[in-house]
C-alpha cells in the first residue's frame, strides 16, 4: 500500500516529505506514530494538521485535493462504480491472498523466526489463485486496466500486492494472458517511479535470502 501511494504522488507531482517508518523496529506502534495513525499501520499522511490513514482513503483524498487527471479515479459514476467494486473487493481478495503468502512464507520464518504454517500458506495460495482468476475473467475482461481503459488507483493497489510475491518468483501472468498484459502495461506507465518504489522490497528479499515459492 505504501508503494501505491508513493507512485501515485510521484506520477502526479504531488509534493511530499517522506518519513520512513521502521517496521522492523515496531515504529508503527510507537506513541509518536500512533498520534498520526491510531491504527498503527503504514501508510499514513498528514496534510497540515489533517491526518488520513488507509491507503485507499489516502489515494481518494489526494486525487480530489490535487485534481489529478480524471482517469486515476474517474468522476463518471459508472466508471467510478466499476473501480469502486475493485477497491472494495481488494481487501479480502488480492491483499489477503498475496500478503497472506508473503507474510507466512517470508516474514514469519525469516524475520520472526516462526515455523511455516503450511495450512495458512495453502489457504493464501488458494485465495491468490481465485483472485487472479477474477482479475483475468472479470476485472480485466475487455479492459486493458482494472475495469477501465485507462490506469487508475485500482491498478496501483493491485500491482503493488503482486510485486510483493514476485519476490518469491510467483509469476502472476504465467497462466493468465490478461493479467500478464495488464501487469506489463501498468509497469510501462509508471516508468522509473515503479523501479524506485521497489528498491526496498528487492533489497529486503535479497537480504533475507528469499527463495522461490511454488505456485500454480
Which spans of this chain sit near another protein (rule: CB under 8 A)?
38-39, 50, 52-58, 60-61, 64-65, 77-78, 80-82, 84-85, 87-89, 91-92, 134, 137-138
By beta-carbon proximity to another protein, the closer residue of 14 and 204 is 14
Q: Are 124 and 100 in contact (CB under 8 A)?
A: yes
Taking the least distance from each CB to another protein, the nearer of 6 and 94 is 94
Residue 47 belongs to what H/E stretch? strand 44-47
Task: Please state, in angstroms and rounded to a whole number, the distance separating the CA atoms of residues 146 and 14.
Answer: 23
Minimum CB separation of residue 88 from another protein in Å reads 4
Cβ proximity to another protein: between 79 and 197 the closer is 79
Angstrom distance (rounded) from CA 166 to CA 51: 32
Q: What is the C-alpha separation between 103 and 170, in angstroms, rounded?
A: 14
User: Closest distance between another protein and the C-beta of residue 45, in Å?
Assistant: 10
CB of 209 to another protein, least distance (A): 30
Of 62 and 168, the one with the shorter C-beta distance to another protein is: 62
Distance CA 21, CA 131 (A): 29
Q: Specify the residue, 51 or 110, whose C-beta has the smaller distance to another protein.
A: 51
The C-alpha atoms of residue 173 and residue 166 are separated, in whole angstroms, by: 11
- State in angstroms the smallest separation of the CB of 86 from another protein: 8
In angstroms, give the least distance from the CB of 105 to another protein: 20
Count of all residues that appear for the chain in the document: 216
| C-alpha to C-alpha distance for 72 and 211, rounded to whole angstroms | 35
If residue 44 lies in a helix (H) or strand (E), which one and from where to where?
strand 44-47
Amino acid at each position: 500500500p505504501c508503494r501505491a501511494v508513493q507512485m501515485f504522488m510521484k506520477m502526479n507531482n504531488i509534493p511530499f516529505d517522506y518519513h520512513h517508518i521502521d517496521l522492523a523496529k515496531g515504529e508503527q506502534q510507537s506513541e509518536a506514530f500512533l498520534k498520526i495513525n491510531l491504527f498503527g499501520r503504514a501508510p499514513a499522511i498528514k496534510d497540515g494538521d489533517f491526518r488520513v490513514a488507509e491507503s485507499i482513503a489516502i489515494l481518494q483524498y489526494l486525487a480530489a485535493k490535487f485534481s489529478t487527471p480524471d482517469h486515476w479515479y474517474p468522476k463518471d459514476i459508472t466508471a467510478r462504480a466499476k473501480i469502486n467494486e475493485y477497491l472494495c473487493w481488494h481487501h479480502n481478495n488480492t491483499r489477503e491472498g498475496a500478503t497472506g503468502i508473503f507474510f507466512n512464507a517470508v516474514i514469519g520464518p525469516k524475520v520472526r523466526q516462526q515455523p511455516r504454517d503450511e495450512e495458512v500458506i495453502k489457504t493464501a495460495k488458494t485465495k491468490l489463485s481465485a483472485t487472479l482468476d477474477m482479475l483475468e475473467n472479470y476485472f480485466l475482461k475487455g479492459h486493458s486496466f482494472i475495469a477501465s481503459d485507462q490506469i487508475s488507483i485500482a491498478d496501483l493497489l493491485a500491482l503493488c500486492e503482486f510485486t510483493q510475491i514476485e519476490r518469491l518468483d510467483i509469476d502472476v501472468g504465467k497462466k493468465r494472458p490478461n493479467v500478464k498484459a495488464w501487469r506489463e502495461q501498468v509497469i510501462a506507465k509508471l516508468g522509473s517511479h515503479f523501479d524506485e518504489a521497489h528498491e526496498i522490497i528487492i533489497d529486503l528479499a535479497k537480504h533475507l535470502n528469499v527463495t522461490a515459492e511454488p505456485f500454480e
